[in-house]
Amino acid sequence: MNTLFKLQKYMGKRKLLLPCSLIISGISNLLAILPLIFIWLIIKALWNNQDIADPLLLEQYAIWAVVCAIASVLLYFLALTCSHLAAFKAEVNIRKYSMNKIIKMPIGFFDNHTSGNIRKIIDENASITHTFLAHQMPDLAGTILMPIVAFLLFFIIDWKLGLACMIPLLVSMFLMSKMMNKKGQELMNSYMTSLEDMNTEAVEYVRGIPIVKVFQQTIYSFKNFYNSIMQYKKMVTNYSDICEKPMSAYVTVINSFSFFLVPTAIIIISYGGNTSTTIINCLLYLVVSPIFSQCVMRSMYIFQALNQAQEAIDRVEDLTKTNEIQDPKEPIIPTKNDIEFKDVTFYYEGADKPAIENINLQIKEGETIALVGESGSGKTTIARLIPRFWDTTKGSVCIGDVNIKQMNKKDLMSSISFVFQNAKLFSTSIYENILFGNPKASREDIEKAIDLAQCRDIIDKLPNGLDTVIGTHGTYLSGGEQQRIAIARAILKDAPIVILDEATAFADPDNEELIRQALEKLMENKTVLIIAHRLSIVQNVDCIYVMKSGNIIESGKHNDLIEKKEVYYHMWNEYKKAISWTL
């Protein structure tokens, strides 16, 4: 019921088609029994020889049998059409609503969910609901109705034979309930989880094939993938083991109606029952009883599909349960561009330790500050809290004295340019890639940005210049070149706040000087936060903050910190040693 309730909100108006489908399919199922009854009536008539004089009646029976059979098939088709219309709507809307929600997620959400993972969860789970809604729902009517009808029929005609039919039926239902209990459902859940894990790891594995080949590794080096396969194997074996005995017993019992019926008929006759009536009735039971087994079998599939649909819808809704970033009711646009962190603490989702703790820092308009410190000390986290990749757990981040939560997302985004170490370019033309920075820019603006970002040499060597599509005809850009294009994009955006996260990290020596010049242009007259591991860049900034384990442990200008002879002083000495090594 809960699952249906969740699913119906995705079906819109078409949810009314589902009960229609159930009713039509119920009628179709009833009609499907009738030909069997007519055939039985014909046999009975022939057996008793009484109506042989009336061939017309036999013909009538036969015609009705055919008519009922055809009507049943046609109605079933109609029922399936209704359920499919509803199911397709649900499937489309699950995808649509989830994507709409995903778009509103904080940007940090995409750190923990790769695009492949999001696609898989939404796409696959949306399709899983289809089986249940489109195919299993119409069958539900018959599964409930048929046993009731057959049950009544049986006890009206001959209760002793009816009783004999009940034995395999009850035993099979008991066996099925054993397989479908809570433990079975738990197994189904972990089965789906391990299937999902295996698929995700497989994608990772395919992505990593170049590395595997270069280092001549085997699949065993992909521990996670290997483990996920083993986990899946364990799951499936375990599930099969648990179902082995009840399932074999179940299949045997559900097909054994004649095994109980024939001896019962013999006993009835030997105790003085009417031979021909008993045999005729027994025939009816033999013809109709397969319907029972069909229904029990079907209800098993329905339960399975229901469990899967339930899991599927829960997984999709779980994915998007992170709070969306809402625009404030009365947004404020700051008049200045200073940035201030006030007592900011931030925990990543599920982390038991804060990534940063009680951070206070200030960047005045037009100033540049730098964050330095060992890897994992929280520098990136600080940088990402400014464009609201996540919201702070405690404390506030303000731009020009306005809490960023009181700004419209659009205003906030348009006031910040960021360049990260792994700049992402889209596989379209360089022109369009740069245009992303400011879709209203003219071609001249773009040319200017290219010059400022020191990208002229890249454009000149490409076959179609600015209009070359990246990734076609062997035109690929090196990491450093991509970085410079990304900087051109940021220069074109011309936002008053600039955030650079290890923007020179992957640059080769040739590129490094060019990138440094490009960054200088980007930072001119802006409020800037730099994260750098090459300390040469930070020498001239207005304030350096040294971070360790989520805390600021030192801050000040380069010269002051050197004089202090504490943490930064040691970092600087190490850095100088490292460059002399390179030289």
Residues that bind ligand ADP (CB under 6 A): 111-112, 348, 351, 355, 375-381
Q: Is 380 in the site for Mg ion (CB under 5 A)?
A: yes
244 sits in the region (left: phi over 0; alpha: psi -120 to 50; else beta) called: alpha
Of 105 and 283, which CB lies nearer to ligand ADP in the complex structure?
105
Of 106 and 184, which CB lies nearer to ligand ADP in the complex structure?
106
Bridging pattern class, strands 394-399 and 339-346: antiparallel
What is the smallest separation between the CB atom of 338 and ligand ADP, expressed in angstroms? 22
What is the smallest separation between the CB atom of 503 and Mg ion, expressed in angstroms? 11
Of 111 and 186, which CB lies nearer to ligand ADP in the complex structure?
111
Q: Which residue has the tokens 């497989």?
A: 202
Give the span between the Cα atoms of 269 and 279, in whole angstroms.
Answer: 9
What is the smallest separation between the CB atom of 383 and Mg ion, expressed in angstroms? 8
Of 372 and 543, which CB lies nearer to ligand ADP in the complex structure?
372
**Residue 87, amino acid:** A
Of 114 and 478, which CB lies nearer to ligand ADP in the complex structure?
114
Q: Which does 112 bind (CB under 5 to 8 A by kind): Mg ion, ligand ADP, none?
A: ligand ADP
What is the smallest separation between the CB atom of 361 and ligand ADP, expressed in angstroms? 14
What is the smallest separation between the CB atom of 563 and ligand ADP, expressed in angstroms? 25
Q: Is 377 in the site for Mg ion (CB under 5 A)?
A: no
Give the span between the Cα atoms of 122 and 300, in whole angstroms.
Answer: 26
Question: 505-543 burial, b for 16+ CB within 10 Å, e for fewer?
Answer: ebbeeebbebbbebbebbbeebbbbbbbbbbebbeebeb
Of 86 and 544, which CB lies nearer to Mg ion in the complex structure?
544
Q: Which does 378 bind (CB under 5 to 8 A by kind): ligand ADP, Mg ion, none?
A: ligand ADP
Distance of CA 307 to the CA centre of its chain: 17
Give the span between the Cα atoms of 583 and 577, in whole angstroms.
Answer: 10
Of 244 and 374, which CB lies nearer to ligand ADP in the complex structure?
374
Q: Is 504 in the site for Mg ion (CB under 5 A)?
A: no
Strand order, beta sheet including 339-346: 356-363, 339-346, 394-399, 402-403
Nearest alpha-carbon partner for 149 in 31, 38, 272: 31
**Local structure of 421: helix, strand or coil:** coil
**Residue 63, amino acid:** I
What is the smallest separation between the CB atom of 355 and Mg ion, expressed in angstroms? 11
Of 134 and 355, which CB lies nearer to ligand ADP in the complex structure?
355
What is the smallest separation between the CB atom of 348 and ligand ADP, expressed in angstroms? 3
Q: Which does 181 bind (CB under 5 to 8 A by kind): Mg ion, ligand ADP, none?
A: none
Q: Which does 385 bind (CB under 5 to 8 A by kind): Mg ion, ligand ADP, none?
A: none
Q: Which stretch binds Mg ion (CB under 5 A): 127-135, 176-184, 373-381, 489-497?
A: 373-381
Bridging pattern class, strands 497-501 and 356-363: unpaired
Give the span between the Cα atoms of 560 and 569, in whole angstroms.
Answer: 10
Q: Which does 361 bind (CB under 5 to 8 A by kind): ligand ADP, Mg ion, none?
A: none
**Local structure of 408: helix, strand or coil:** coil
Q: Which residue has the tokens 């730098």?
A: 370
* Interacting residues toward Mg ion by CB under 5 A: 380
